[in-house]
């Protein structure tokens, strides 16, 4: 199925929103809960599966949705269609600070492998399925888990990542990356993990026990602030419940006299 051709505009800097413009009859698919606002004339409905195979039967749709559930996503996706006679817009944003990455799937060779929570929205016709890491070590220690998302299509897709996003073109090169910083890559790249130096560096260097290695020729997207790292920093600053203070601060004040 050929993807719908949608136009878009991205607003903001660190809390970005992508506004997709739909011609009459065009459809964009998105993760549940990603929509921020939409024009009148936009109709939305929850659909089991991505809609890339309209002739697929119920069991096929159920199997496709079940594969999405393995990545931790909802069984259903939301389809937004323009049922008016004029152009209409619908906007989407991710639930934490970062950048929205517009990807022309045709320029990526029609396929992209991304981390399991990176997908935000895409033109109808884009297939969202799963991809398994080929090596046990990469899946267990690589920070992305055994299951990644695979996007297939020839239209626009939009990903979300934390912090600043950098696009790197590798030409038969090798890059060592902190686990969790990989957002997406083209299928021609090989993904694995390796030890982060000697034992001293692994336990005292602050970079974790393992690094991800990406080899080959292709396109790689990296993020500077994985959500897991942001969550760890927030949790580290949370006050302890055993501190006996509801204010959360590090100081105790005594009210009243000295006797």
Residue indicated by tokens 């991304």: 114
Vertex 157 angle, CA 25 and 81, to 5°: 20
Q: How far apart are CA 90 and CA 65, in angstroms?
A: 24
Q: What is the CA angle 113-162-152, rounded to 5? A: 20
Task: Using the predicted structure, report yes or no on whether residue 58 has a pLDDT greater than 70.
Answer: no
Q: Residue 34's Cα: distance from chain center in Å?
A: 12
Q: Is the pLDDT of residue 198 over 60?
A: no
Average pLDDT over all residues of the chain: 78
Q: What percent of the chain has pLDDT over 70?
A: 67
Q: What is the pLDDT of residue 250?
A: 47
CATH of domain 7-238: 3.60.160.10
Q: Is 116 or 169 the better-scoring residue by pLDDT?
A: 169
pLDDT bracket for residue 140 (50, 70, 90): very low
Q: In what order do the strands lie in the sheet with 7-11?
A: 7-11, 17-22, 88-93, 35-38
* 94-133 per-residue burial string, b: 16 or more CB within 10 A, e: under 16: beeebbbbebebeebebebbbbbbbbbbbbbbbbbebbeb
Residue 114: name the closest of 14, 25, 34, 182 by CA. Answer: 182
Q: What is the 3-state secondary structure (H, E, C) of 155-221?
A: CEEEEEEECCEEEEEEEEEEEEEECCCEEEECCCCEEEEEECCCHHHHHHCCCCCEEEEEEEEEEEE
Q: CA nearest 190: which of 126, 142, 224, 140?
A: 142
Q: What confidence score (pLDDT) does residue 101 get?
A: 95
Other C-beta atoms closer than 10 Å to the C-beta of 165 total 19
Cβ distance 149 to 184 under 8 Å?
no
Q: What is the pLDDT of residue 202?
A: 46
At 239 the pLDDT is 80
Mean per-residue pLDDT, 17-32: 94
């Amino acid at each position: 199925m050929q993807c719908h051709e949608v136009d878009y505009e991205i607003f903001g800097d660190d809390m970005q929103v992508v506004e997709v413009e739909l011609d009459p009859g065009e459809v964009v698919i998105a993760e549940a809960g990603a929509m921020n606002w939409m024009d009148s004339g936009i109709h939305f409905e929850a659909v089991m599966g991505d809609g890339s195979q309209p002739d697929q039967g119920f069991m096929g749709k159920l199997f496709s949705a079940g594969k999405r559930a393995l990545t931790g996503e909802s069984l259903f996706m939301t389809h937004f269609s323009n049922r008016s006679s004029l152009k209409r817009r619908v906007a989407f944003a991710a639930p934490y600070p970062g950048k929205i990455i517009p990807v022309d799937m045709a320029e990526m060779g029609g396929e992209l492998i991304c981390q399991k929570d990176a997908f935000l929205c895409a033109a109808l016709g884009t297939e969202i399925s799963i991809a398994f890491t080929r090596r046990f070590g990469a899946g267990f220690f690589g920070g992305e888990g055994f299951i990644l998302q695979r996007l297939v299509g020839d239209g626009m897709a939009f990903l979300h990542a934390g912090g600043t996003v950098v696009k790197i073109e590798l030409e038969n090169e090798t890059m060592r990356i902190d686990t969790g910083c990989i957002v997406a890559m083209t299928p021609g790249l090989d993904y694995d993990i390796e030890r982060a130096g000697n034992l001293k560096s692994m336990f005292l260097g602050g970079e974790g026990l393992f690094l991800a290695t990406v080899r080959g020729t292709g396109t790689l997207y990296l993020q500077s602030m994985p959500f897991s790292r942001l969550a760890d920093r927030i949790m580290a600053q949370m006050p302890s419940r055993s501190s006996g203070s509801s204010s959360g601060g590090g100081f105790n004040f005594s009210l009243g006299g000295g006797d």
